Structures are given as C-alpha cells and as structure tokens.
C-alpha cells in the first residue's frame, strides 16, 4: 500500500519538499469516498490543533508545514477556523520559505475585517521598509492579493513613493504598480496620486519592459477616472507603441513572444489610447495612424511561425488596433480596411477567429463609415448562422445580422433569422424572437409583412414569444387601419391549424374581437364561423387566455348581433357561469348580464373599437435593452428607424383624438396600463395641446421632484389645466406639507379627488402619512384649493410617496400621478462640529458599506455661493475651516427618524478644471449614505 502511495507522488519535488505534506496529500488522494476524505481531514485537523495548542513550542519548519496543510485543506473546500495566528507569526520569520507560506495563507484565507489585520499590517510594514527586494515583493503581493480597505488606509500613501523612487529595484516597481492598482479599485478615495502623477506617467518611458507592462495597467485605470490629469500619457504611449511596432522580431529579446514583439504591452498601449479621443497634435496622430497601418499590413504578411501562439499574439494586437480604430470612428480608410480584414477572418479555419471577427464586426456595423462595408459580408454571416457548430459562434452571427440590418436587407435578414429559429438552441430563442420582432417593426414598410412576421414567430417559437411581443402586434394593428383587414384575415387562417400555439389564440381572439367584421362578408369567415373557430380552442387554453376569449365573445355580440344567442348560451353554461376561477366566472356573469340588459347603443359605446394607443417606446425594445449582449448595442436606433419610416403607430393620422374617447373600461386586456406617471402626464394635457400648440414640453414628474431636494417651497407640477404648488416644513421626524391646486382654465373641474399612497415598504413601516382635510370635489375655473398632509418618518426610506389626482374636465377623465417631494434629507438636524471632531467621526464611519461615493460631471456652473446655498438647503450644517482644502465643502447632520437617529457626514470636492465633482457621504446606516449620494448627485 505504501508503494502505491509513493507512486502517486510526483518524482521531483522542487524546493524544500515538505515530506509530511506530501504524505498527507497522497493520503487524501487515496481516499475512496468523500466520507473517508472527511475522516482523514478531521484527523489531521485534530493533530494540527493539538500541535498548535501543545506546550512544546513549535519550530518554524513545523509551523510552516502545518499552516501549509491547513491551506491545502481549505483549498479542497473545507472550512478552516484556526491557524491564522500561526500564519501571522510566520510573517515575521527571517526564513524566506516560512514567510512565504505565511503570506500565501493570509492572501487566501484572511478576510478584510479580521482582527489580525493590525498584526498583518505591522509585518507588511516591516517587510516594506526592509530594503530587501524579495521581502518587499512578498509584502506587496500580499497587499495586492488581499486588497482590503484597511490595507489601503495603511499603505496607499507609502506605495506611490516606492513606485517612483529612483533606487527601487525594477521587480519591486512592478509589484508596487499593480498593488496600487488593486488598492485603487477597492478604495479610489484613498489612492491619491497628486504630486506623483507625472512621474507615474513617465514610467511609460522606462527602459525595463516589465516595468512598463506593469505600470501601464495602473495608468490605464487612473486615466479612465481622471483623463485630464493623465493626458500626457497619450504621446508617450504612441511613441512607445511606434518603437515596438517597428522593431524587428528579435530586438526585444525575452519580451518577444513567438516572433511577436511585446504583444501584451502592445495590447495595453492600444487599450490605454482608447481612453482618449484621437490625438490633437498632428505629428502624434500621424505616427499613430502609421502604427495602425503597419499592424493592418502585418496581418497580410505570411506568418513567421506555424504555431497558434504566434498567430494569436499577432491577432490579439490586430483586434486591439481595430477596437481603437472603431473607438476613434473618424478614419474611413482605416475603418474599411479593418472591415476587410475581419471579412477574411469570417472564413478562417480557426473557430476563435471567426467568433472574434463576428463580434468585432458588430461594432463596426454601427459606424456610418463602415456600415456599408460590413453589409457586403451578409451571405457569409448568414452561412455562419446556418453552419457553425458552436452555439456561441452562431449567437455572434445572429447579433451581427441584427446589427447590420437596415431597410435594404431587412426582409432577407428577418427571413433568415426566422428560419434559424426553427432549429435554434433553446438558450437563445427568446432573444432571437425579440430581435426579429424589433427588426420587423423597425423596418416595416408594408404592415402586412410585419403582421406575417410576428404570426410566423408565434407559429415557429410560440413558447418564446413574450407578452411584450404579442401586445405590440396588437397595438400596431389597432393603430393602423390599413392593416386591420389583412390582420383579421391572416389570424383567421392561422387559427385553422389543428394545433396552434396559445399565443396565436390570444392574438386571434383580440384581433377578431376588434376587426372580425372586416372579413365577415366572406361566407367562409362569417361571424358564426369565426366564433366557432375561436371557441374550438377555448377548452385547451389557460385561464388568462380564456378570460381574453370571453371578452372577445362579448365584443362579437356587439359586432354581430346574429351571434348573440349562441354566445349567450355559451356564457350561460355551467362551465362558464359556475367556473371555479373567480375571474372567469365574473366575466361570464357580467358579460351575460350586459348583453341581456344593455341597449344596442350602450353596448356599442361600452364595446367600442379600441382607440389608438399613445405613441411610446416599444416595450419589446425596453425588454431587449434589459437583456445583456453586444447585439443590444444598436437598439436605440429604433427611434431613428421610425422617423425615417413614418409613424409606426399611425400617431400622425389618428393619435390626436386619443383622449377624446378615454373609455378606459373598454381596454379589456389592460394594454393601456403603462407606467402611471408617463401615461398620465401627456393625456392630461393633450386636449388643450391640440388647440394651442403641437407639444408643450413637460418635464417628467421626477424632474419636479429633483427641484425639491434642497428647497421646501415651489411649483410641484404644471400643465395647461392644473398647477400644483407646495409649501412644507419639517421638525425632528415630523413634517407638514401644504398643497395648492389651481384650476388654470375657465371651466370647473368635477369629481376632483386626490389620494396619497406609499408604495411597497414605504406603506407599512417607513413613512406614515395622513391627509388632514378632505377636499371639495369641485374646483371652479380660476380657483385654488388647499390640502394639508402630515408626515411622520418612522425609519429611513428611499422611495417617495405617490400623489394621485383624478378629475373630469369637460367630460374627459384626467388622471395624474406625481411623486411627493419627501426625501430623507428633510429630516436632517444640522450638527456643528470642529475640524478634529469631524475627522474623528469620519474615521469611525469607515466600514466600506457606510460610505457612498459618486464622481459626476457638473450640470450647472460651479458657483461657490450657489453650492453653499444648496448644501444649506439640504439641511446639514455647512462646516467652515474643516477641510484642509478650502475648495472643498464638508457638512454634518443627524437624520431624525422615529426608530433611530442616523449621523451623516458629507464631503464635496469640486474640480473646476475638469468640471467634475466627487461626493462622499458616510453615515451610520448604509442605506442612508447611498440614498443621500443619489439625491445629491443630481443637484450640482
């Protein structure tokens, strides 16, 4: 057995070879079952525990061996809850391997809030100041691996110094650069390059390629965040790149990789340049264009090696260069060359290259310079969609087809995508369906094609056709009277299929219910035939579809009086009127009653044809936007496509009178139930808008809300009919708000009602609101009424309460929902404090989640007095002479809620040169920091 164990061990054990560890690993590998493994591990853990607890002081070697065993056990996936102290002890050993194991254990196992962090930081500090480069590197690796905030606090000041010091060894510089990068990613506020900026940028000129390779990652990350401060890196990067690109393949010695000079560095240089616009300096730009041309030329040269590593490294640079060309989007010549190069790759035997070419072409398709060039590859891409064996490659091909689609090729592409759908992988069907639906809508010239396409979608991939897609086809059919007859005929035919998808039944039911009359003249599709066809599907359908069908039936009674008795009989049957489903039963009862007692006039009014839907963003598009993937990049072009192709919703022809027939009850499907805020605002105004002007632009209700973060009084809402003013006062956790409703017209508003609701969490325990006086239901023309609302803040909150206003104006129902400007900062009590206290508290609030930070562009002029006024309006105390930098603002305050008090500190750092702000909020409660930061970031 022993011999077998040995055979399992590698022949060569490098380095110190801890025999006991090897035996243990071997034992674990020989365990026949999970239970045996756990047993062996528990035995070992007990052994190690006893060694660590034993009276005999362990020597460094044993400690190292046991710590290493614990690490192995942890990496196997078991929990380790001891040994940390022993690992920390190893850090201060002067034997390298012991120190090394100690650091490895800590890198893997110590989480940031460990109590040991102080001891660890001490050991790191010692090693950093040891001037022994090997020890310094170990310490830096550990910081980079753990990367916690505590470490950033301890070392973010020291490491830049090490990085730029003249006497630092190259290997240490490399570690220092990447260590700093990691700290910057976790705690950007603590890594301040300041005076070091220029010297860090100049590392791009360093003689040692390794130093440049490491430093450029840091510089790229810093440039993304502070482009102006680092912009001198552009010319340095260009000259470095130019030297590499023009060097012979052997010049760079060990930095040449399979005959490609410095591929990693080249890629990083090209990536860094993508943080900036094209160089303004003509000479620099000329040199860069030359580099890009050389890279494109090299792609055409015969390979210097047959190894895949050679071509991968070479093409990595090529793809990065193409990304830069696309990023600049200003050199038509380079863009077209890039496109041709990618075209060659589309037929390459390497799957990887085909994949990347498809991916990269997707972005090229959106450039006006290369869109046409991309389109020439349509046949190859269609072929890829049909023949690629790897689903991820086919997915890229589908994305590219979507991106290259325009009016000229839409029919071909949609047809190909439809036929691909029949065999497409389940994982991508839903996205494909959305894309087909969007393309069909975007490029529809004749709407019969659009209707055919969507019905085909339902036929081929009905399960993947989401509500958004079939709602949309109904909206469009309703809005365009030129397609209604065709749609009715087509759904009627589609429903003839013995097995048709339930979504088809839904669309069919809705469309025949609305427009069945348009085909009723043909005896083959007479009213009764239509009804029988629909009803033959009824029993196979789910409850929601049955409910929809019942509504279609009542619409039939209105459209075709001759079907009345047949349908009434159906409604009256036990399976309907006594259905166990409440919704179905209710519909059956109500429709039966309606059809029996209402006069034809009433029926005709209630069951009138649906009015056109208001123009709004396609909900399908919204859905695709939510889905990830590069194919979604160009979705916002839909709006453009619409403008070219005329109004899809037919809004221009019929949209104007949309609110004259509000009859909300007629919308049996609830298709109109869009988001209340956006739907309400335009309809409230549209009556008058038509008379006075085309479109009076109305800020969204949320825009009004933003105005009230730093002030308490003002106009909350205004349109042609109504003005709502607001006055509010707050004390402790209580507030009172006065609302003034002004009728701007000369006609009275009737049935005027308002309701305040707190959606979701807000209702039960966050905000307690009650209205003080009830309003008269009548507001005379030109009159104003007042309402008072009392507010109590129970605990902190993020959402705002909603105010819903309903009234009738000239018979038309106006419905409006606004957010009430109650934000958490209203409950601030200002707190004055001295500089010392401020910073002490600031430090106390140092948990990462207690802080929220935003860096954002200035939206208004950076006027100090205006800033002060806004900060005072926020409700906190504005503290003078606290921040060492007089440009900065700091504030302190306590938010009073019934449940608790939440102390908050704020620091706003304007950067006038960059026209940017950095806002940092720290609070004893994480949700408060986050919310305050969101609210304030919109204010400056």
- Strand 812-819 with 767-771, pairing: unpaired
Nearer of residues 210 and 645 to other proteins, judged by Cβ: 210
66 is in an annotated binding site: yes
221 is in an annotated binding site: no
DSSP secondary structure letters along 615-626? P---HHHHHHHH
**Interacting residue with other proteins among 106, 151, 172, 262 (CB under 8 A):** 262
Nearer of residues 14 and 53 to other proteins, judged by Cβ: 14
Residue 20 binds other proteins, judged by CB under 8 A? yes
61 is in an annotated binding site: yes
**Interacting residue with other proteins among 297, 330, 351, 636 (CB under 8 A):** 351
Nearer of residues 180 and 879 to other proteins, judged by Cβ: 180
Residue 168 binds other proteins, judged by CB under 8 A? no
Dihedrals phi, psi of 806, to nearest 5 degrees: -130, 135
Residues 876-915 that bind other proteins (CB under 8 A): none
Q: Binders of other proteins: how many residues, by CB under 8 A?
A: 82
Instruction: Give the span between the Cα atoms of 52 and 385, in whole angstroms.
Output: 62
60 is in an annotated binding site: no
Nearer of residues 220 and 831 to other proteins, judged by Cβ: 220
**Interacting residue with other proteins among 81, 167, 195, 254 (CB under 8 A):** 254
Nearer of residues 9 and 858 to other proteins, judged by Cβ: 9
Residue 97 binds other proteins, judged by CB under 8 A? yes
931 is in an annotated binding site: no
In angstroms, the Cα distances linking 165 to 16, 158, 213 are 34, 11, 18
Go through 666-683 and write b for each residue having 16 or more CB atoms within 10 A of its CB, e for each that does not.
Answer: bebbebbeeeeeebbbbb
Residues 29-48 that bind other proteins (CB under 8 A): 29
Residue 54 binds other proteins, judged by CB under 8 A? no
Nearer of residues 284 and 318 to other proteins, judged by Cβ: 318
CB of 144 to other proteins, least distance (A): 4
Residue 535 CB-density burial (10 A; 0-12 exposed, 13-18 middle, 19+ buried):
middle
HSE-CB at 471 with a 13 A cutoff on CA atoms is 18
CB of 319 to other proteins, least distance (A): 6
Dihedrals phi, psi of 265, to nearest 5 degrees: -65, -40
CB of 245 to other proteins, least distance (A): 16
Residues 100-159 that bind other proteins (CB under 8 A): 100-101, 104, 108, 112, 134, 137, 140-141, 144-145, 147-148
HSE-CB at 347 with a 13 A cutoff on CA atoms is 9
CB of 22 to other proteins, least distance (A): 6
Instruction: Give the span between the Cα atoms of 487 and 635, in whole angstroms.
Output: 26
CB of 215 to other proteins, least distance (A): 10
CB of 20 to other proteins, least distance (A): 3
Residue 271 binds other proteins, judged by CB under 8 A? yes
Q: What is the DSSP-derived secondary structure letter of residue 777?
A: S
Q: Tell me which stretch binds other proteins (CB under 8 A): 19-27, 334-342, 800-808, 925-933.
A: 19-27
Bridge partners for 807 per DSSP: 814
Nearer of residues 176 and 722 to other proteins, judged by Cβ: 176
65 is in an annotated binding site: yes
Q: Please tell me the chain's helix, strand, coil percentages from 3-state DSSP, rounded to the nearest 5.
A: 60, 10, 30
645 is in an annotated binding site: no
Residue 257 binds other proteins, judged by CB under 8 A? yes
**Interacting residue with other proteins among 345, 355, 464, 741 (CB under 8 A):** 355
**Interacting residue with other proteins among 191, 356, 460, 620 (CB under 8 A):** 356
* Residue that has been written with the tokens 């709502």 in this structure: 724
Nearer of residues 381 and 767 to other proteins, judged by Cβ: 381
672 is in an annotated binding site: no
* Residue that has been written with the tokens 């899809």 in this structure: 648
Residue 72 binds other proteins, judged by CB under 8 A? yes
Q: Tell me which stretch binds other proteins (CB under 8 A): 16-24, 83-91, 726-734, 761-769.
A: 16-24
Q: Is residue 390 a contact partner of residue 416, using CB atoms and an 8 Å limit? A: no
Could you write out the three-class secondary structure of 296-351? HHHHHCCCCCCCHHHHHHHHHHHHHHHHHHHHHCCCHHHHHHHHHHHHHHCCCCCH
Could you write out the three-class secondary structure of 853-900? EEEEECCCCCCHHHHHHHHHHHCCEEECCCCCCCCCEEEEEEEECCCC
Q: Is residue 263 a contact partner of residue 271, using CB atoms and an 8 Å limit? A: no
Residues 357-416 that bind other proteins (CB under 8 A): 389-390, 392-393
Residue 8 binds other proteins, judged by CB under 8 A? yes
Instruction: Give the span between the Cα atoms of 80 and 111, in whole angstroms.
Output: 12
CB of 359 to other proteins, least distance (A): 9
**Interacting residue with other proteins among 65, 377, 442, 922 (CB under 8 A):** 65
Nearer of residues 489 and 623 to other proteins, judged by Cβ: 623
Residues 172-191 that bind other proteins (CB under 8 A): 174-175, 178-179, 181-182, 185-186
CB of 214 to other proteins, least distance (A): 5
Q: What strands, in cross-sheet order, belong to the sheet with 734-743?
A: 714-718, 722-731, 734-743, 784-793, 767-771
Q: Is residue 84 a contact partner of residue 56, using CB atoms and an 8 Å limit? A: no
Nearer of residues 139 and 457 to other proteins, judged by Cβ: 139
CB of 435 to other proteins, least distance (A): 16
Quick note: the x/- pattern for other proteins over 195-214, rule CB under 8 A, is --------------xx--xx
472 is in an annotated binding site: no
HSE-CB at 465 with a 13 A cutoff on CA atoms is 27
* Structure-block tokens of residue 873: 């309006």
Q: Tell me which stretch binds other proteins (CB under 8 A): 169-177, 642-650, 774-782, 814-822.
A: 169-177
Residues 305-324 that bind other proteins (CB under 8 A): 309, 312-313, 315-316, 319-320
CA angle 150, 154, 156 (to 5 degrees): 105
Residue 15 binds other proteins, judged by CB under 8 A? yes
Q: Is residue 812 a contact partner of residue 687, using CB atoms and an 8 Å limit? A: yes
Residues 585-644 that bind other proteins (CB under 8 A): 628-629
Q: Is residue 753 a contact partner of residue 807, using CB atoms and an 8 Å limit? A: yes
Residues flagged as binding site: 19-20, 51, 61, 65-69
């Amino acid at each position: 057995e022993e011999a077998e164990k040995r055979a399992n061990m590698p022949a060569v054990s490098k380095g110190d070879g801890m025999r006991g560890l090897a035996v243990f690993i071997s034992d674990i590998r020989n365990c026949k079952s999970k239970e045996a493994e756990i047993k062996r591990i528990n035995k070992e853990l007990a052994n190690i525990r006893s060694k660590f607890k034993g009276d005999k002081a362990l020597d460094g070697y044993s400690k190292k061996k046991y710590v290493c065993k614990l690490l192995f056990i942890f990496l196997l996936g078991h929990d380790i809850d001891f040994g940390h102290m022993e690992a920390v002890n190893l850090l201060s050993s002067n034997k390298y391997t012991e120190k090394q194991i100690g650091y490895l254990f800590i890198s893997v196992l110590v989480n940031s809030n460990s109590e040991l962090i102080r001891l660890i930081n001490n050991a790191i500090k010692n090693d950093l100041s040891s001037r022994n480069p090997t020890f310094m590197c170990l310490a830096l690796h550990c910081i980079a691996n753990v990367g916690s905030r505590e470490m950033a606090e301890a070392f973010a000041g020291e490491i830049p110094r090490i990085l730029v010091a003249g006497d630092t060894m190259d290997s240490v510089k490399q570690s220092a650069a990447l260590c700093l990068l990691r700290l910057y990613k976790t705690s950007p506020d603590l890594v301040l390059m300041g005076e070091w900026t220029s010297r860090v940028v100049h590392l791009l000129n360093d003689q040692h390629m390794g130093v440049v390779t490491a430093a450029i990652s840091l510089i790229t990350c810093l440039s993304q965040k502070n482009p102006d401060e680092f912009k001198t890196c552009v010319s340095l990067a260009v000259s470095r790149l130019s030297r590499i690109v023009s060097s012979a393949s052997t010049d760079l010695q060990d930095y040449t990789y399979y005959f490609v000079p410095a591929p990693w560095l080249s890629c990083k240089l090209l990536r860094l340049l993508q943080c900036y616009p094209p160089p303004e300096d003509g000479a620099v730009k000329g040199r860069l264009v030359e580099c890009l041309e050389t890279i494109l030329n090299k792609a055409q040269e015969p390979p210097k090696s047959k190894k895949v590593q050679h071509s991968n490294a070479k093409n990595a640079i090529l793809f990065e260069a193409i990304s830069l060309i696309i990023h600049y989007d200003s050199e038509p010549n380079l863009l077209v060359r890039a496109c041709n190069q990618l075209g060659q790759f589309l037929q390459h035997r390497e799957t990887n290259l085909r994949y990347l070419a498809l991916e990269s072409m997707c972005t090229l398709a959106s450039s006006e310079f290369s869109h046409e060039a991309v389109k020439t590859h349509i046949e190859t891409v269609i072929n890829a969609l049909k023949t690629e064996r790897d689903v991820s490659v086919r997915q890229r091909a589908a994305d590219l087809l979507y991106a290259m689609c325009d009016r000229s090729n839409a029919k071909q592409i949609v047809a190909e995508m439809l036929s691909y759908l029949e065999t497409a992988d389940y994982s991508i069907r839903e996205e494909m369906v959305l894309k087909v639906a969007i393309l069909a809508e975007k490029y529809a010239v004749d709407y019969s094609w659009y209707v055919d396409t969507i019905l085909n979608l339902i036929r081929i991939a009905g399960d993947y056709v989401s509500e958004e897609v079939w709602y949309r086809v109904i909206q469009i059919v309703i809005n365009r009277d030129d397609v209604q007859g065709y749609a009715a005929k087509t759904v009627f035919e589609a429903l003839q299929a013995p097995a048709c998808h339930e979504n088809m039944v839904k669309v069919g039911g809705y469309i025949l219910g609305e427009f069945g009359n348009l085909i009723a003249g043909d005896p083959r599709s007479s009213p009764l035939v239509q009804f029988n066809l629909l009803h033959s599907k009824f029993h196979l359908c789910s409850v929601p579809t049955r409910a929809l069908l019942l509504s279609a039936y009542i619409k039939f009674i209105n459209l075709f009086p001759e079907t009345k008795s047949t349908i009434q009989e159906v409604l009256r049957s036990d399976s309907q009127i006594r259905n166990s489903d409440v919704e179905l039963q209710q519909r059956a009862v109500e429709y039966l009653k309606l059809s029996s007692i209402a006069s034809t006039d009433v029926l005709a009014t209630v069951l009138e044809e649906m009015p056109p839907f208001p123009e709004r963003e396609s909900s399908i598009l919204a859905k695709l936007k939510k889905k990830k993937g590069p194919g979604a990049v160009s979705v916002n072009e839909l709006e453009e496509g619409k403008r070219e192709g005329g109004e899809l919703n037919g809004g221009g022809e019929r949209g104007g009178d949309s609110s004259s027939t509000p009859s909300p009850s007629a919308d049996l499907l609830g298709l109109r139930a869009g988001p209340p805020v956006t739907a309400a605002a335009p309809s409230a105004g549209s009556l008058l808008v038509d008379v006075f002007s085309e479109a009076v632009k109305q800020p969204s209700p949320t825009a009004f809300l933003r105005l009230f973060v730093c002030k308490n009084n003002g106009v909350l809402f205004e349109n042609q009919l109504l003005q709502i003013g607001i006055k509010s006062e707050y004390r402790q956790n209580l507030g009172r708000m006065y609302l003034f409703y002004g009728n701007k017209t000369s006609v009275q508003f009737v049935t005027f009602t308002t309701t305040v609701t707190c959606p979701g969490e807000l209702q039960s325990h966050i905000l307690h609101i009650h209205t003080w006086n009830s309003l008269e239901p009548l507001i005379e023309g030109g009159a104003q009424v007042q309402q008072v609302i009392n507010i109590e803040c129970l605990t902190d909150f993020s959402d705002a309460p909603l105010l819903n206003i309903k009234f009738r104006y000239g018979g038309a129902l106006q419905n409006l929902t606004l957010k009430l400007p109650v934000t958490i900062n209203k409950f601030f009590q200002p707190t004055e404090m001295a500089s010392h206290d401020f910073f002490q508290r600031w430090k106390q609030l140092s948990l990462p989640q207690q802080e929220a930070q935003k860096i954002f562009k200035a939206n208004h002029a950076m006027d100090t007095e205006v800033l002060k006024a806004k900060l005072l309006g926020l409700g906190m105390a504005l503290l003078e002479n606290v921040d060492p930098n007089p440009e900065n603002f700091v504030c302190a305050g306590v938010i009073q809620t019934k449940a608790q008090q939440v102390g908050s500190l704020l620091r706003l750092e304007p950067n006038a040169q960059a026209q940017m702000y950095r806002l940092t909020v720290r609070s004893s409660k994480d949700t408060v920091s986050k919310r305050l930061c969101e609210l304030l970031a919109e204010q400056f």
